Amino acid sequence: IDVDFEHERREIVMQWVYETYGRDHSALCSTVVRYHTKGAVRDIGKALGLPEDVTKLLSSQVWGHGEGIDETRARELNFNMADRRLRLTLELAQQLEGTPRHLSQHPGGFVLTND
């Protein structure tokens, strides 16, 4: 269930769920934000020390999910494919696609069980 209440009352509702169903039969949900190619290019480029304008241009060339940037397109944009950091950024971005980037607690999601 999703106890979607204003944040001022959320804790009260959460405690009510625990009291009503018991802590052994209720648990909070998590959220998982996963990498898409565009975000992976930005994060990896930054980590590898690529200039911000390069990572912005690279990430702006990604459309949709799972679509990387091939070397032909990178050359058309006048990127130096001999730059090891650039090649590694493109390579790693494809590998990171779909992996968790951020984990957190859902603000009001509960799982309830009978057992």
User: How confident is the model over 48-100, as pLDDT tens digits?
Assistant: 999 999 899 888 887 666 566 767 777 787 888 888 998 899 889 889 989 99
Contact at 8 Å (CB) between 48 and 96? no
Predicted local confidence at residue 9, as pLDDT? 85
Maximum C-alpha span of the chain: 63
Interhelix angle 52-60/84-96, rounded to 10 degrees, is: 50
- End-to-end, the C-alpha distance of the chain in Å comes to 17
Q: What residues pair up with 34 in beta bridges, in sequence order? A: 100
Give residue 22's pLDDT band: very low, low, confident or very high (50, 70, 90). very high
* Alpha-carbon span 28 to 109, nearest angstrom: 6
| Paired tokens of 60 | 């702006």
Q: Is the pLDDT of residue 1 over 90?
A: no
Per DSSP, 2 falls in state B
Predicted local confidence at residue 48, as pLDDT? 96
* Alpha-carbon span 31 to 43, nearest angstrom: 20
Between vectors from CA 50 to CA 98 and to CA 37, what angle results, nearest 5°? Answer: 15
Give phi and psi for 95, each to the nearest 5.
Answer: -70, -30
Per DSSP, 3 falls in state -
Comparing 112 with 73, the larger pLDDT belongs to: 112
Predicted local confidence at residue 47, as pLDDT? 96
- Assess if CATH 3.40.190 describes domain 36-98: no
Predicted local confidence at residue 67, as pLDDT? 63
For the chain, the domains span 7-33+102-112, 36-98
